[in-house]
Amino acid sequence: MWSSEQASKVASEYLSGLGRRWDHVRTVGQLADVLADGGMISADVAAAAWLHDLGYAEELSTTGLHALDGAAFLAIEGAPAEIVSLVAHHTGADFEAEERGLKAEMDAMPAAGRANLDALTLLDLVTAPDGSLTEPEARINEILSRYPGSSPVHRAVSRSRAELLASAERARLQLGLPDKWPAGATEGMLES
């Protein structure tokens, strides 16, 4: 099992020089640690939260699909299958794999458990690129505004929008979190 602490060190090693990307990952990881410490999510989800954007590291990027690249690296490094699967399939990555012609490569990755994948998707969608807290709808709108319509990311997020929002809502209900979580619910709990 990879601990959240081990995952945060790997993430820091590869992503800490990426500015806003690191700010985003650090907040996602910290939110996950809060939920894991409360027994609300598994240690695997917390570790995957720290590692979900690992494939953005230039030295790990081979296909251009960060979820797939990060998961492939983690598989080589011996990470547990559940962490590999969560990184591979997080936040609509299957849709982006289709858009990029990488469906076969994505299908070769282990399947993620739905409840765990929902929890990771919620954590990703409540964290803006700069690490501030947001709402899933606003986060999706931000992603769409950042990428041109011709981008595979834009096309994938447009296609997966309804499923992403449903996933975040399932996680909130499953975890018993308030509608506006994490706004106000984590004040003072996140490290700076």
Whole-angstrom distance, CA of residue 174 vs CA of residue 10 = 29
Answer whether residue 53 shows pLDDT above 60: yes
High-pLDDT (> 90) share of the chain, %: 91
**Per the confidence metrics, is the pTM higher than 0.85?**
yes
CA angle 191, 81, 129 (to 5 degrees): 35
What is the number of H-type helices and E-type strands within the chain?
10, 0
- The contacts of residue 185 (CB under 8 Å, 6+ apart) are 177, 178
* Residue 181 belongs to a domain: no
Helix axes 152-175, 136-146, angle to 10 degrees: 170
Distances (CA, A) of 71 to 75, 105, 106, 131, 158: 6, 11, 10, 22, 23
Boundaries of domain holding 28 = 4-175
- Cβ distance 49 to 120 under 8 Å? yes
Q: What is the pLDDT of residues 57-97, one digit of tens each?
A: 999 999 999 999 999 999 999 999 999 999 999 999 999 99
Question: Mean pLDDT in the chain?
Answer: 94
* Residue 182 belongs to a domain: no
* Residue 186 belongs to a domain: no
The pLDDT score that the predictor gives to residue 192 is: 43
Q: What is the pLDDT of residues 103-142, one digit of tens each?
A: 999 999 999 999 999 999 999 999 999 999 999 999 999 9
Answer whether residue 188 shows pLDDT above 90: no
- The number of folded domains in the chain is 1
* Residue 189 belongs to a domain: no
The pLDDT score that the predictor gives to residue 45 is: 98
* Residue 124 belongs to a domain: yes
Query: Residue 2's pLDDT band (boundaries 50, 70, 90)?
Result: confident
Q: Please name which of 79, 57, 49, 46 lies closest in space to residue 13, comparing C-alpha atoms.
A: 57
* Residue 56 belongs to a domain: yes
* Residue 131 belongs to a domain: yes
* Residue 192 belongs to a domain: no
